Structure 1
Amino acid sequence: MSKAISSNLGYPRIGGNREWKRALERFWSGKQSEESFLKEIEQLRLGLLQKQKEHGIELIPVGDFSLYDHVLDTSVMFGIIPERFKKANGEVSLQDYFAIARGSKGAVASSMTKWFNTNYHYIVPELQNATPKLTHNRPLTYYREAKEKLGINGKPVFLGPITFLKLAKGYEEEQFDKLLDQFLPLYETILQELEQEGAEWVQIDEPILATSILPDDLQRFERVYQRLNIAAPNLNLLLQTYFESVGYYEEIIDLPVQGIGLDFVLDEGENLASLRRFGFPDDKVLAAGVIDGRNVWRANLKDKTALLAKIKESVPAERLIVQPSTSLLHVPVTVKSETALDPLLKDGLAFADEKLLEVQVLTKWLNLGDKAVVKEINDSAAKIDKLNQSSSRNVASVQNAVNNLQEYRADRQSPFKDRQKLQEKRFNLPVLPSTSIGSLPQTSEVRKARQSWRKGEWNEEQYEGYVKNQIVKWIDIQEQIGLDVLIHGEFERNDMVEYFGEKLGGFATTKNAWVQSYGSRCVKPPLVYGDVHFLEPMTVKESVFAQSLTNKPVKGMLTGPVTILNWSFVSDHIKKQDVLYQIALALREEVETLEENNIQMIQVDEPALREGLPLKRSKWDDYLSTAVYAFKLATASVQDETQIHTHMCYSEFQDIIDAINDLDADVIAIEAALSHGELIATFENKVYDKGIGLGVYDIHSPRIPEKTEVITTINRALQVLDPKLFWINPDCGLKTRTEEEAIPALEVMVNAAREVREQLAVKK
């Protein structure tokens, strides 16, 4: 390289108006042919590449696009197909691809879990009895497409072999190296064919390097990349890390590759400190991730040029690539579509397109100096400063409360055993009580009603009347099904975090700032731009109305402070911990208001608690103690008779079971339908002495579970859990399911619970 160049790691696949999501759902529903679907998707994919070119990006990623998930793409490329989906001829059709992710009538979907510490979900590869083979060179296909149809000499992007295997399941640790040796020749072939095709740079993502890797892993990286470098000697290999700093910095920068990608945003200064202490090899390029790829706030370009100046002390500009810290998959597409936002706030934002322009400005600064971009640099600092000076970021009462947390009780009045007796008397529930998690089907009719209200076509009275009718309908359905504890269904809520973002001070919500969560499921994280505070009751009206319709308990439903924090775009003008405590105190007021209105069970969901764990285990204790304290700060002020529930999903809970216990919730529901055996093994070694429900069926698949499956799942759990503490529930909310899927599935679940309950009675 003769100068610094600009690059991107990945771009949002959903499109500016969620064209990708709509095409997928039309195809899944049978409203679009495969040929038409693939043609539409191709045009979208090419458009996204062209946009990056127009934004001045020189190294444009190709192959980061996916029809569902890039980890699933890697599995299918290597023929890693679960046995239950395999066809006799060995082919994997488009229907098979989606069946692995979503399930089918005859087979359960593969597990889904969080991509490191993000809210993106990947499909877990299943390596039981796997014999990997290269079914098609996916990076080559997309490299050719970009070159032939757009004239873009792209940068193929794919997941590295060590990270891929670390994310997979279905093998023992001692089999790792044998499996790695089976995959290596396939990676060599991919690189050799790309080299022959004329590719110059290839980005191999190894985010596992940001975790607590072991010395054995370092030896694997040395061996793997030595082979890959030899396999394609004329290809530049960019080993890309992100999400945190790398451990073993000195060893990693000496790996036999032509470039190393480091995150200089979420590294907490550690990558920069290592760079300045140990230097950087003269024969390598440093891809510096200096623009935040996981948040939406405008970069202060004065600060970023200062950061690059420090980096440039160790690596000259001609060996620097300027890029976002991670793939822009995690942020919305463009700020331009946010026409309704306060201009002061809008000026403080940068989504994917705006981040690419920031990359371009910083690259120009490296090559041409201050004068070339003086206006852009000064504008960014001025707009950020103006937002920082606003009244929304200087609410004295909120800041004083956080500075005096000792005034708020953060422990329940009595230990669980004492509370349990009082709650048993109050609720008089049967053994193995059945309930659902929170949301009920958000049908097209429900969404249409909400849109009519938002557009002003319906007034407040009409919309509230509609929501009440849905609550009446579903309270009746739940009673007919026979659930023991009911829910109101959350028909008034668009999303479990965005809804609270609309109700709390210090938050703003957007119109089109969508990001992919899993599959075609997209969410609009709210913006935490100021000091967070309680304004007025948020959930009380619907909860009280639902409870008035039945003699059975109806749970009040809230999203917990950690999840609201982790699933929002939080400004970095104050420490995240302080924002977390602000949210917890606001929710505390809502919890107390629910209790005052005779809501006797209150569920405060924390599905993102584990997701927020730092990638390095050495930092876990501090994070978990803060998260537990925030949850208790939000919930501990209730009376002993009030039962606090919580829910967690999409996570591997084995590592944080002690923290889960420390939450001191009376009942916790955990997503476990696709990983029941693994989680149950945890309770063989750990005693959990509070109420718990391990999800007994997977709500992410349209498939209706068989009663025998649910009974088997319940009985497996009861081998290690006390029946008096065990609850029966789905593994998550039913928002994405249809009524035709939700009702029979709940009926199966309730009937299974009754049958096991009868068996337990007979044994007694």
Structure 2
Amino acid sequence: MTDGWPEVGDGGTRRTAADGGADVREQFRPDDHSNDHFLLTTVVGSYPKPKWLNRAEELVEDDEYDFGEDHLTEAHDDAARLITREHERAGLDVVVDGEMRRNEMVEYFAHRIDGYEFNGPVKVWGHNYFDKPSVVDEVSYGEQWLVEEFEFTDGVASHPVKVPITGPYTLANWSFNEHYDDEETLAYELADLVNEEVEALVEAGARYIQIDEPALATTPDDHAIVGECLERIVEDVPADVRLGLHVCYGDYSRIYPEVLDFPVHEFDLELANGEYEQVPVFQDPEFTKDLALGVVDAHTAEVEPVEVIKENIKKGFEIVPPERLTISPDCGLKLLPRDVAYGKTRNMVQAVREVEAELDAGEIDVGFAAAPADD
């Protein structure tokens, strides 16, 4: 019996409410990792697209050019290959393709879910528009969403691949609901569809899946709905699949400690942007999950120096011990200049490796999360 997961009839294990994921996390340690300590490095998901890919996406819509869907598919493949290898060159332990095939985190999935339709963009802030979809009929799983994306990335990567997927609560909350009695019902229906996609990804070989629920930060009173959605998503997912939850910046005290009951291994939190003022929120009661800590700010076009990032990493030791700390940017990096995004990622990895070496040498006090001394 694995901690937190009951045995089932087929002799395997299934996730219910996972408490931490040290065993599941260890599978991502590189064989040639040079330090005894291991702080897992990854990114949240999105990354700046090459300018030529943006142009390719424009050309396919322009009748003046002989540029069709086959050409665009090739362009997406080239961009995904390029960014995956850029992540590997930066030294990340777990990579993504930067979401090169995706346009927006709700719109992309709504186009692939039966029951949604689009009626034009709506203004969200400033000069930014969002093609907000409407649910006009019963939602259903008509086609796989990310399996081909994962298989391609996994095929070109030499490092493990993480799959970010927009969660059902955000898919419901950021859409117009014109069919279901309430948003909660819609979220649960969507959770069942996400479960189908997750099972397909697992069948394809995915072992690290991140559910993105930015809407939870804006409507924290609905944490129970998100928890129920996650229970539906992880049903029958094998215990060796690492599941994370990313929640963007907000008042985390409004969802903590309730989120500790969510059936995930890891919480990915945006704390650098708030200068770590919310660290005390996660100290009492004790944070019992793994923490993916944002250590570079996704909202500033400045590459933080390695020494600054090292100090940010140490903030994580005020919440969890090193064996439960993952290091990433605060959020997706897609709005930054690409050279800045790469610089942040590269410096982040270098800072992590230096901190690991200092941990090995006993030069770092892990603070609040240190194991208590024996009496």
TM-score band, normalised by shorter chain:
0.7 to 0.9
1:509–1:451: structure 2 CA closer, same or farther, 3 Å change rule? farther
Map 1:165-204 onto structure 2 (within 5 A).
none
5+ residue gaps, structure 1: 1-410, 614-619
AA matched with 1:628: G
CA drift at 1:570: 1.9
CA drift at 1:691: 1.5
Partner of 2:122: 514
AA matched with 2:71: Q
Identical counterparts, % of pairs: 27
Q: Does 1:504 align with 2:135?
A: no
Contact 1:441 1:737 in 2 (8 A): yes
1:425–1:649: structure 2 CA closer, same or farther, 3 Å change rule? closer
Q: Does 1:416 align with 2:18?
A: yes
CA drift at 1:734: 1.1
CA drift at 1:572: 5.8
The CA distance in 1 between the partners of 2:338 and 2:223, in whole Å, is: 38
Partner of 1:580: 187
The CA distance in 1 between the partners of 2:38 and 2:53, in whole Å, is: 34
AA matched with 2:29: N
CA drift at 1:418: 8.2
Alignment counterpart, residue 739 of structure 1, candidates 338, 342, 347: 338
The CA distance in 1 between the partners of 2:249 and 2:257, in whole Å, is: 18
The CA distance in 1 between the partners of 2:21 and 2:38, in whole Å, is: 17
SS in 2 for 1:446: helix
Q: Does 1:439 align with 2:46?
A: yes
Map 1:102-501 onto structure 2 (within 5 A).
412-413=14-15, 416=18, 420-421=22-23, 423-428=24-29, 431-455=38-62, 457-501=66-110
RMSD over aligned Cα, in angstroms? 2.1
CA drift at 1:412: 4.8
Alignment counterpart, residue 718 of structure 1, candidates 309, 317, 330: 317
CA drift at 1:425: 4.8
Alignment counterpart, residue 679 of structure 1, candidates 271, 278, 285: 278
1:631–1:416: structure 2 CA closer, same or farther, 3 Å change rule? closer
With the length of structure 1 as denominator, give the TM-score of the two structures: 0.43
CA drift at 1:706: 1.9
With the length of structure 2 as denominator, give the TM-score of the two structures: 0.86
The CA distance in 2 between the partners of 1:458 and 1:632, in whole Å, is: 44
Contact 1:442 1:736 in 2 (8 A): no
Q: Does 1:695 align with 2:294?
A: yes
5+ residue gaps, structure 2: 1-12, 31-36, 364-375
SS in 1 for 2:361: helix
Deviations 1:368-388 (A, max 9, x none): xxxxxxxxxxxxxxxxxxxxx
Q: Does 1:643 align with 2:242?
A: yes
SS in 1 for 2:315: helix
The CA distance in 1 between the partners of 2:330 and 2:114, in whole Å, is: 32
Point out the structure with the larger helix share: 1
SS in 1 for 2:215: coil
AA matched with 2:110: G
Higher RCO, Cα 8 Å, sep 6+: 2
Alignment counterpart, residue 178 of structure 2, candidates 557, 567, 571: 571
Q: Does 1:592 align with 2:166?
A: no
Partner of 2:371: none
Map 1:17-36 onto structure 2 (within 5 A).
none
The CA distance in 1 between the partners of 2:274 and 2:280, in whole Å, is: 10
Bigger Cα Rg: 1
Deviations 1:489-532 (A, max 9, x none): 1111110010001110111124x413224x54432222122211
Contact 1:506 1:529 in 2 (8 A): yes
1:696–1:424: structure 2 CA closer, same or farther, 3 Å change rule? closer
CA drift at 1:710: 1.2
CA drift at 1:612: 2.2
AA matched with 1:473: L
Equivalences, count: 343
Deviations 1:140-191 (A, max 9, x none): xxxxxxxxxxxxxxxxxxxxxxxxxxxxxxxxxxxxxxxxxxxxxxxxxxxx
SS in 2 for 1:548: helix
The CA distance in 2 between the partners of 1:570 and 1:677, in whole Å, is: 36
SS in 2 for 1:581: helix
CA drift at 1:465: 0.9
